[in-house]
Structure 1
Amino acid sequence: MTMAAVMESPAGTRAWPEASRLAGVELVSDMRAAETAWRGLERANRFCTPYQRFDLLNHWQRRVGEREGIRPFIVIGYDRDRQPLLLLPLGVTRKHGIRIAKFLGGKHATFNMALWDKDFAAGAAAADLEALLSAIRAHALADVLALTRQPRRWIDQPNPFALLPGQLSANDCPLLNMAPGAPPASRISNSFRRRLKGKERKLQSLPGYGYRLATSDAEIKRLLDWFFTIKPQRMAAQKLPDVFADPGIEDFIRDACLTPIAGGHAIDIHALQCDDEVIAIFAGVADGQRFSMMFNTYTLSGNAKYSPGLILMRDIIDHYAARGFTSLDLGIGSDDYKRLFCKDDEPIFDSFVPLTLRGRIAAHGLSGLTHAKRTIKHTPALMQMAQRLRGVLQQSP
């Protein structure tokens, strides 16, 4: 169902900036109603991250978003020939009386972006964003846009939303850049490779040992059954909340991992395994240029002491480098193992855009909260204090 009629320029609104190349904006509340425009922007001259694929977010909204009371808020911008130029995949939720529009996908999407026609994005200017925001404001269906975890650039081009007022996100995202055709040592040093080879010799004696990218439904289901058995035990041992236990999350992940797309699945699973056990898995999204990790875990058996997660990460890096990928990230957060592979950071930012008077207060509060989180995470003493407090709260009855 369409939430708002198409707003056309110049007759639709006197506030429409004349310099904008957008001729109309449509707000849609039904995922299927947006599917044709959405898939078109994924295929033709695309500029988007794999986290905003229809096949991924449709599963998330159906399994998770609906349970959380999130209503799709899909914003589609068109040119004068009614060809889509951009699609903003948002959902609206209400908190403390404030209607907040956020990117669909929740915490399981490392990066958030609109889907853009690449040529339009390359020349996008303030007038285009002003036209987009004017159309959204005109219908007052949300009070504030909370546009978090946006990359300033994606692959080789700036993100047009970086023109909006913004701030650094609370967390960083470690990144590995890979030059096509470069020697393996440019990705992982020879000394580190030798150390991993030494550890791997212990695993290579296991019958059936090897690295695989899961392709069949049976293999994918087996690996996921193992993951959803082992991961909760690992989270509990680390005294961390199990985000995979939230309602709908397991169903979402299973659906996405089993959904075929060109070149693989909506979520791909890489594994180290032998005849007797799964040893480690890493799962993530890929788009032909970037692999981005979403979740991982490794065995509880004695084979864990041979660093199977690091060995698997080496295999994944080499797998994608051989296919011409130019970058790889291991998700939000600066865990020590990520820095063994990723020496750079993907700059990511948040924008909190008020749409109503009430939204101005909400935008200010959300901005301040994000700034405080970043300060804590980047101040070791404050981070240690926060971790101790979390441990005390988890132990409280």
Structure 2
Amino acid sequence: MTGSVMLDRATTQTDDFVLTVHRGIPADWPGINAMGEARGHVFQTREFMGVWAETLGAGLDARFIDVRDHRGQMVMRLPLAIEMQDGISVLGFADQSCADYNAPLLYPTGIEWTPARAAQLWTAIESALPAIDKIVLDKMPAMVGDLVNPLHHLSSEDNPEACNGSNLNLPWPEIEATQAQLKTLKRKARGLEKLGAVRFIIATDPVERQRVLDRLLEQKQRRFEETLVPGFAESPASRLFFENATTLFAATGNLHLAALEVGGEIVATSWTLQMGTIVYELMIGFEAGEWFKHSPGRVLNLRYLEWAKAQGFTYVDHGIGDEEWKRENTDTRVPLGRLIAARTAKGRRQLARAALAARIRSLPLYEKLRPYKWIVKRAIAKRLGRAA
């Protein structure tokens, strides 16, 4: 939804700032190819927020906040959402697990951000919104482009996971050297050529794009099931997000839907977005079975890095997560901050329950039994599907 459908409190003011709260995405919200003076990540652009609003954010109470100084100069634009979780209202970023970085769009103003000033601004933001039980501000980077992220000052702890990426400004031999067991990886790449014609694909026409997307979603769902975590079956909105985003960002020219094909079969895939000279990788997939020993996902990653550097991109952001393959095949780690705090007695009780649940999840017995939850759920779903 775009346009200022409704304003909550258009003239909320502090000694330093004027806040405007929109119930829809303002028409002049910075776009992926039209950022103007704003610094930001792809996850907070108008287009990304639009797809979020119609899929993962559908039904949530979204608020898009403009913060200006008293001269009228824009300071930041901040997408937030209020949702109900376990019977309490929770205020956080407009995210629902589709964003790797949560941060405002920032403008160069010369403001020297301190923890006290950031806290003052956040207090004003909360005051301009409906009362909530709990806040969750997670995945917050310290910097947004060349500007300090004031909301990072609110962090009370490190986010459990960081982001990782590859610096493409390095000479190609140095980029290659960041890849674990490079000689073995190249040998596996040559081995794939013995199995059939190898083709590196950046899908551009609609038919090939749909073919690659279908395989990617299949590979990702299989991986969800192998690792015994919730997937697209449990969150259809997540699948719809990528389907809608594929159509939109293909039209804007920002989508890189990459694949490695061997003998006509797609064996690895990746879904990335370009914004300026930075590329964000949001989803990857690869074939299992006999293909797994050939490391098709890592072969595709190496080919993609080489292609992206040749295209003039400066950084590939592999996203949030400290998986082994990211730690061993990237050269940049971006720590993130987090704040989780209660605002009411209900919120404090929920935090206490969450802390107890976290302690239970850390027990060896829980770790042993946890996967069976999803095995049983998926078995029941499949049986019900056959019965229907």
When normalised by structure 1's length, the TM-score is 0.80
Partner of 2:322: 334
- The amino acid that maps onto 2:301 is M
Relative to structure 1, is the Cα distance of residues 365 and 153 closer, same or farther in structure 2, using a 3 angstrom cutoff? farther
How far apart are the structure 2 equivalents of 1:387 and 1:135?
A: 39
Partner of 2:203: 214
Relative to structure 1, is the Cα distance of residues 105 and 165 closer, same or farther in structure 2, using a 3 angstrom cutoff? closer
- Assess if the C-alpha contact under 8 Å between 2:30 and 2:38 holds in 1: no
- Assess if the C-alpha contact under 8 Å between 1:93 and 1:100 holds in 2: yes
Relative to structure 1, is the Cα distance of residues 312 and 364 closer, same or farther in structure 2, using a 3 angstrom cutoff? farther
Relative to structure 1, is the Cα distance of residues 300 and 164 closer, same or farther in structure 2, using a 3 angstrom cutoff? closer
- Assess if the C-alpha contact under 8 Å between 1:146 and 1:353 holds in 2: yes
Is 1:4 the equivalent of 2:3? no
Relative to structure 1, is the Cα distance of residues 73 and 163 closer, same or farther in structure 2, using a 3 angstrom cutoff? same
Partner of 1:89: 79
Partner of 1:225: 214
Aligned to 1:36, the other structure's residue is in SS state: coil
Partner of 1:29: 23
How far apart are the structure 2 equivalents of 1:327 and 1:57?
A: 23
Is 1:273 the equivalent of 2:265? no
Aligned to 1:25, the other structure's residue is in SS state: strand
Displacement of 1:306 in angstroms is 0.9
How far apart are the structure 2 equivalents of 1:229 and 1:237?
A: 12
How far apart are the structure 2 equivalents of 1:166 and 1:2?
A: 33
Relative to structure 1, is the Cα distance of residues 244 and 80 closer, same or farther in structure 2, using a 3 angstrom cutoff? farther
Relative to structure 1, is the Cα distance of residues 79 and 99 closer, same or farther in structure 2, using a 3 angstrom cutoff? same
Is 1:252 the equivalent of 2:232? no
Aligned to 1:30, the other structure's residue is in SS state: coil
Relative to structure 1, is the Cα distance of residues 297 and 277 closer, same or farther in structure 2, using a 3 angstrom cutoff? same
- Assess if the C-alpha contact under 8 Å between 1:184 and 1:318 holds in 2: no
- Assess if the C-alpha contact under 8 Å between 2:273 and 2:279 holds in 1: yes
Displacement of 1:139 in angstroms is 4.4
- Please point out which of 59, 62, 66 is paired with 2:54: 62
- The amino acid that maps onto 1:49 is H
Aligned to 1:72, the other structure's residue is in SS state: strand
- Assess if the C-alpha contact under 8 Å between 2:133 and 2:346 holds in 1: no
Aligned to 1:59, the other structure's residue is in SS state: helix
Partner of 1:51: 43
Is 1:170 the equivalent of 2:166? no
What is the aligned residue count? Answer: 372
Aligned to 2:177, the other structure's residue is in SS state: coil
The Cα offsets for residues 258-277 of structure 1, whole Å up to 9 and x where unpaired, read as 21379833x53221114521
Aligned to 2:29, the other structure's residue is in SS state: helix
Partner of 1:285: 273
1:1-397 map, 5 Å: 1-7=5-11, 9=13, 16-17=14-15, 20=16, 22=17, 24-31=18-25, 34-39=26-31, 43-66=35-58, 69-80=59-70, 82-117=72-107, 119-120=108-109, 123-125=112-114, 126-127=116-117, 130-131=120-121, 133-173=123-163, 175-178=164-167, 180-189=169-178, 192-243=181-232, 245-260=234-249, 264-265=253-254, 267-274=255-262, 276-300=264-288, 302-352=290-340, 357-358=343-344, 362=347, 366=351, 369=354, 382=362, 385-395=365-375
- The amino acid that maps onto 1:127 is R
How far apart are the structure 1 equivalents of 2:326 and 2:346?
A: 37
Q: Give the share of equivalent positions with the same residue, in percent.
A: 19
Aligned to 1:296, the other structure's residue is in SS state: strand
When normalised by structure 2's length, the TM-score is 0.82
- The amino acid that maps onto 1:37 is W
Partner of 1:13: none
Displacement of 1:161 in angstroms is 1.1
- The amino acid that maps onto 1:61 is A
Q: Which runs of 5+ in 1 are unaligned?
A: 10-15
- Assess if the C-alpha contact under 8 Å between 2:23 and 2:63 holds in 1: yes
Greater shift, 37-46 or 360-369, is seen at: 360-369
Displacement of 1:77 in angstroms is 1.3
Relative to structure 1, is the Cα distance of residues 59 and 363 closer, same or farther in structure 2, using a 3 angstrom cutoff? farther
Greater shift, 92-101 or 184-193, is seen at: 184-193
How far apart are the structure 2 equivalents of 1:338 and 1:190?
A: 10
- Assess if the C-alpha contact under 8 Å between 2:278 and 2:315 holds in 1: yes
Displacement of 1:160 in angstroms is 1.6
CA RMSD in angstroms, aligned pairs only: 3.4
How far apart are the structure 1 equivalents of 2:156 and 2:176?
A: 32
- The amino acid that maps onto 1:362 is G
Relative to structure 1, is the Cα distance of residues 193 and 244 closer, same or farther in structure 2, using a 3 angstrom cutoff? farther
- The amino acid that maps onto 2:57 is G
- The amino acid that maps onto 2:45 is R
Displacement of 1:52 in angstroms is 1.4
Relative to structure 1, is the Cα distance of residues 300 and 90 closer, same or farther in structure 2, using a 3 angstrom cutoff? same
Displacement of 1:103 in angstroms is 1.4
Aligned to 2:328, the other structure's residue is in SS state: helix
Displacement of 1:246 in angstroms is 1.0
The Cα offsets for residues 312-369 of structure 1, whole Å up to 9 and x where unpaired, read as 1112222333344443333332222222212543111112366xx52x7637955995
How far apart are the structure 1 equivalents of 2:201 and 2:62?
A: 36
Which aligned runs of 4 or more in structure 1 are off by greater than 6 angstroms? none
Displacement of 1:62 in angstroms is 0.6
Aligned to 1:4, the other structure's residue is in SS state: coil
